[in-house]
């Protein structure tokens, strides 16, 4: 094994221990969750969303017009996360402590992170 490979395996090990929090279950993070699921990383990834369901905005006018049912245009985030090996927390973020790398949820609990993504 050469030095380059040693460096790579050390970096991958460090990445595997990261806690990643994705704040908001909108269009951007839906795609992030889908792609991260394919990579099958061993990092601890958590999606936080105030609702289990994310509406696909492109179909919203059709829903209002009565052409689609709720299930037709809403993405079930909990099911998507489960398929992708990602934890799902239903809740609203109400506070952020960047110095301590943690997010507060509406129930008063804190979620620690190494990497935070907010849309
Ligand atoms: C009617 C309509 C039709 C559209 N059609 C198209 C289209 O055809 N093509 C196109 O490209 N774009 C379209 N757009 C725009 C597209 O919806 C946005 O560009 C896209 O949703 C942005 O994605 P995002 O993930 O950054 O934000 P969002 O999809 O807005 O997601 C943000 C998420 O963060 C969550 N959130 C907010 N605050 C908190 C908090 N404190 N704690 C936890 N979660 C929180 C919200 O609940 C939300 O789920 C349309 C928009 C609308 C309204």
Predicted pLDDT of residue 81: 97
User: Would you tell me the crossing angle of helices 77-84 and 27-39 to the nearest 10 degrees?
Assistant: 20
Kindly report, residue by residue over 11-38, the tens digit of the pLDDT.
445 555 799 999 999 999 999 999 998 8
Closest CA to 118 of 23, 20, 21: 23
Domain boundaries, the chain: 23-118
Distance CA 44, CA 115 (A): 10
- Judged by DSSP in three states, 23 sits in strand
Q: State the Cα–Cα distance between residues 7 and 81, nearest whole angstrom.
A: 31
Ligand 1 in reach of 75 Cβ (< 6 A)? no
For domain 23-118, give the CATH superfamily. FAD/NAD(P)-binding domain (3.50.50.60)
CB atoms within 10 A of CB 1: 7
Which residue puts its alpha carbon closest to atom 31 of ligand 1? 26
Q: What is the pLDDT along the chain (119 residues), one digit of tens a residue?
A: 444 433 334 444 555 579 999 999 999 999 999 999 889 788 999 999 999 999 999 999 999 999 999 999 999 999 999 999 999 999 999 999 999 999 999 999 999 999 999 98
Cβ 52 under 6 angstroms from ligand 1: no
Pocket test for ligand 1, best of 26, 34, 91, 96 (most atoms within 8 A of CB): 26
């Amino acid at each position: 094994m050469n030095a380059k490979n040693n460096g790579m395996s050390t970096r991958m090990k460090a990445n595997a221990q990261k806690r990643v929090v994705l704040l908001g279950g909108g269009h951007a993070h839906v795609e992030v969750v889908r792609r991260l699921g394919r990579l099958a990383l061993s990092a601890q990834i958590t999606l936080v969303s105030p609702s289990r369901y994310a509406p696909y905005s492109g179909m919203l006018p059709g829903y209002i017009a009565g052409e689609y049912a709720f299930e037709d245009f809403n993405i079930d985030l909990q099911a998507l996360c489960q398929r992708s090996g990602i934890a799902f927390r239903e809740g609203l973020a109400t506070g952020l402590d960047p110095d301590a790398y943690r997010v507060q949820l509406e129930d008063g609990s804190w979620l620690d992170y190494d990497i935070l993504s907010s849309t």
